[in-house]
């Protein structure tokens, strides 16, 4: 009997929470472009992996069944692209620098992703521009550069596989500033799936069961023993760069 009473209380609390949520959703619907996500269950807690993100650059919060990631796009590591005089400027004489530097560009980006990726088996190609946000706060791009293959622009990539163009500073290759042949978290992609380094914490080595996107389902350092689908940087050298593509797609979680 006692248990039942508690259950009823919980249900009443949930109903109240739902009513509040609905009120919020209705209030927000005027500036919401799509209502396709409203059928999904609201998530009540941010994924533990978000604790690894650079809090100076990013603001991350739940919005119903979505996670919103706002970032200044400014990474917390050294690169030649900060420009001389900056505390994080790194001299990289071999980098064929683009005309843009960090301090002259607006790197800010906001992405909204599903808090629970939609892993139904259908895949979606990645596009030019931001395909995810790294733990450093900067953007992740795919294997394309201005509609062509990346290797034509490879000379402008800095020590951590990134460069800056007319748009934001972004990584194409394994971002060695925070993952270098290890199992560290790299970031989150637009389909809501987390991307990790070349090794997996579940085995401590290169996974051998990856799908074509570099994904598989195991526990990670942020899932408390629960199995969860995630991507890895695929352990195959890209072109003549001597490094590894961050993510070429396709997305599995849209
Ligand atoms: Zn690029
Ligand atoms: Zn893994």
SS3 2: helix
Q: Are 193 and 207 in contact (CB under 8 A)?
A: no
| Residue 104 structure tokens | 């002259």
| Residue 145 structure tokens | 């550069």
Confidence (pLDDT) at 43 = 83
Confidence (pLDDT) at 95 = 97
The secondary structure of residue 251, as a DSSP letter, is: B
Confidence (pLDDT) at 209 = 98
Reported confidence tier of residue 146, pLDDT bands at 50, 70, 90: confident
> Structure pTM?
0.84
Mean of per-residue pLDDT scores for the chain: 89
Mean pLDDT for 228-242 is: 96
Q: What is the largest CA-CA distance in the chain?
A: 74
Mean pLDDT for 229-247 is: 96
Confidence (pLDDT) at 253 = 96
Residues 6+ apart with CB under 8 A from 38: 25, 64, 65
Q: Taken in order 59, 73, 198, 114, is the CA torsion positive or negative?
A: positive
Do 11 and 78 belong to one domain? no
Q: Are 193 and 156 in contact (CB under 8 A)?
A: no
Could you tell me which residue, 43 or 67, shows the higher pLDDT? 67
Phi, psi (rounded to 5 degrees) for 182: -145, -170
The secondary structure of residue 162, as a DSSP letter, is: E
Do 98 and 133 belong to one domain? yes
Do 9 and 78 belong to one domain? no
Do 234 and 125 belong to one domain? yes
38 Cα–ligand 1 center, Å: 34
| Residue 106 structure tokens | 């607006």
Residue 226 CB-density burial (10 A; 0-12 exposed, 13-18 middle, 19+ buried)? exposed
In a domain, 232, yes or no: yes
In a domain, 251, yes or no: no
Do 123 and 237 belong to one domain? yes
- From the CA of 198, the nearest ligand is 2
Q: Are 173 and 242 in contact (CB under 8 A)?
A: no
In a domain, 249, yes or no: no
Confidence (pLDDT) at 99 = 92
Do 127 and 18 belong to one domain? no
| Residue 189 structure tokens | 């992609």
- From the CA of 169, the nearest ligand is 1
- From the CA of 222, the nearest ligand is 2
Counted domains in the chain: 2
Do 11 and 95 belong to one domain? no
Do 13 and 88 belong to one domain? no
| Residue 138 structure tokens | 């900067």
- From the CA of 196, the nearest ligand is 2
Q: Taken in order 70, 76, 81, 84, is the CA torsion positive or negative?
A: positive
User: pLDDT tens-digit profile of 56-109?
Assistant: 999 999 999 999 999 999 999 999 999 999 999 999 999 999 999 998 899 999
Do 126 and 216 belong to one domain? yes
Q: What is the percentage of the chain residues whose pLDDT exceeds 70?
A: 83
Confidence (pLDDT) at 228 = 98
In a domain, 175, yes or no: yes
In a domain, 250, yes or no: no
Do 35 and 148 belong to one domain? no
Q: Taken in order 112, 192, 188, 247, is the CA torsion positive or negative?
A: negative
Do 94 and 113 belong to one domain? yes
Confidence (pLDDT) at 40 = 56
202 Cα–ligand 2 center, Å: 6
Name the residue range of residue 225's domain: 48-244
Reported confidence tier of residue 7, pLDDT bands at 50, 70, 90: very low
Task: Single out the residue of 59, 158, 64 nearest to residue 109, CA to CA.
Answer: 59
96 Cα–ligand 1 center, Å: 13
198 Cα–ligand 2 center, Å: 9
In a domain, 253, yes or no: no
Confidence (pLDDT) at 166 = 86
SS3 114: strand
Residues 6+ apart with CB under 8 A from 129: 141, 167
């Amino acid at each position: 009997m006692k248990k039942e009473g508690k259950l009823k209380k919980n249900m009443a609390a949930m109903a109240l929470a739902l009513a509040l949520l609905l009120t919020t959703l209705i209030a927000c619907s005027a500036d919401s472009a799509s209502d396709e996500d409203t059928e999904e269950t609201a998530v009540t807690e941010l994924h533990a992996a978000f604790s690894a993100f650079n809090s100076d650059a990013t603001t991350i919060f739940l919005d119903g069944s979505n996670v919103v990631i706002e970032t200044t796009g400014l990474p917390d590591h050294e690169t030649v692209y900060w420009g001389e005089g900056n505390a994080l400027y790194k001299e990289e004489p071999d980098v064929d620098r683009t005309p843009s530097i960090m301090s002259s560009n607006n790197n800010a980006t906001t992405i909204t992703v599903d808090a629970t990726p939609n892993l139904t088996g259908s895949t979606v190609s990645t596009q030019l521009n931001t395909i995810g946000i790294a733990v450093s706060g900067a953007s992740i791009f795919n294997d394309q550069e201005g509609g062509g293959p990346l290797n034509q622009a490879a000379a402008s990539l800095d020590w951590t596989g990134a460069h800056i163009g007319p748009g934001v500073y972004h990584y194409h290759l394994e971002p060695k500033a925070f993952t270098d042949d290890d199992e560290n978290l790299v970031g989150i992609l637009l389909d809501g799936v987390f991307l990790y380094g070349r090794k997996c914490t579940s085995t401590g080595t290169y996974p051998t069961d990856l799908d074509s996107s570099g994904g598989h389902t195991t526990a990670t350092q942020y899932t408390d023993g629960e199995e969860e689908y995630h991507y890895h940087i695929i352990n195959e050298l890209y072109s003549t760069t001597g490094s590894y593509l961050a993510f070429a797609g396709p997305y599995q979680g849209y």
